[in-house]
Amino acid sequence: MEKPKVEYIDWGRISYKEAWDLQTELQQEIIQEKRSGGLPTSKLIVCEHNPVFTLGKSGKQDHLLFDPTTNSKFEFFKINRGGDITYHGPGQLTVYPIFDLEQFKTDVHWYVRSLEEVVINTLSSLGLSAKRMEGFTGVWLQDNNSPIQRKICAIGVHLSRWVSMHGLALNVSTDLNHFDLIVPCGIQEENKTVTSISKELKTDVDMETVKSTLHNSFKEVFEF
């Protein structure tokens, strides 16, 4: 069986609303091509956003700990992905797979676990040992001698006719102070916090290196 084709696209720094609109257009184009009997090429999009908070369908707005109408530094959007509230901004690698899952596997649970696997493998290549956390979507770090569990990647997806959008947000050199303005992903346990690759490695990390490593990991996990 021929492997699926995926086009890799780097949008660079882009506003959240523009990226959301472009994602929606690409998703609909793939759906229409499928309806007409075609075999569409999926898209793998990477980008960084201006500072923004997004609230998923299952989220609570009181997890946003300030009034966004009084702070012009941040944008705020209620969106159609799963999950609660999260932050996007410079230094965070945001990844949007617009995948026709009928060419991969029509299983949402498998898809989300595969996204986690991509990130776990990427971090391993960069020298960090990451894992899943039972009951929590995303990718985490935890030292054997510490009770603190540190979230390094958030995941939230939306599917229509088995075509995905939204995706994952991996903290590379993100300003982690911005997470203090929300209850990240709705998680309020005292032993859970957020982290970044640069914080964990205690050094600056090249974004292009992370993009390339993650792209290779996507190709291995999703076999395209």
Q: Is 153 a catalytic residue?
A: no
Q: Can you tell me whether residue 153 is helix, strand or coil?
A: strand
Instruction: Check residue 100 and report its DSSP letter.
Output: B
Query: Tokens for 89?
Result: 């901004």
Rounded Cα distance between 115 and 96, Å, is 11
Rounded Cα distance between 197 and 174, Å, is 9
Contact between 169 and 92 under an 8 Å Cβ cutoff? The reply is yes
Contact between 57 and 80 under an 8 Å Cβ cutoff? The reply is yes
CA distances from 99 to 39, 173, 187, 203, 211 (A): 12, 27, 28, 34, 18
- Farthest-apart Cα atoms in the chain, separation: 56
Residue 131: CB atoms within 10 A of its CB come to: 13
Which residue is catalytic, options 112, 115, 165, 185?
185
CA distances from 92 to 88, 150, 155 (A): 7, 16, 13
Residues serving a catalytic function are 185
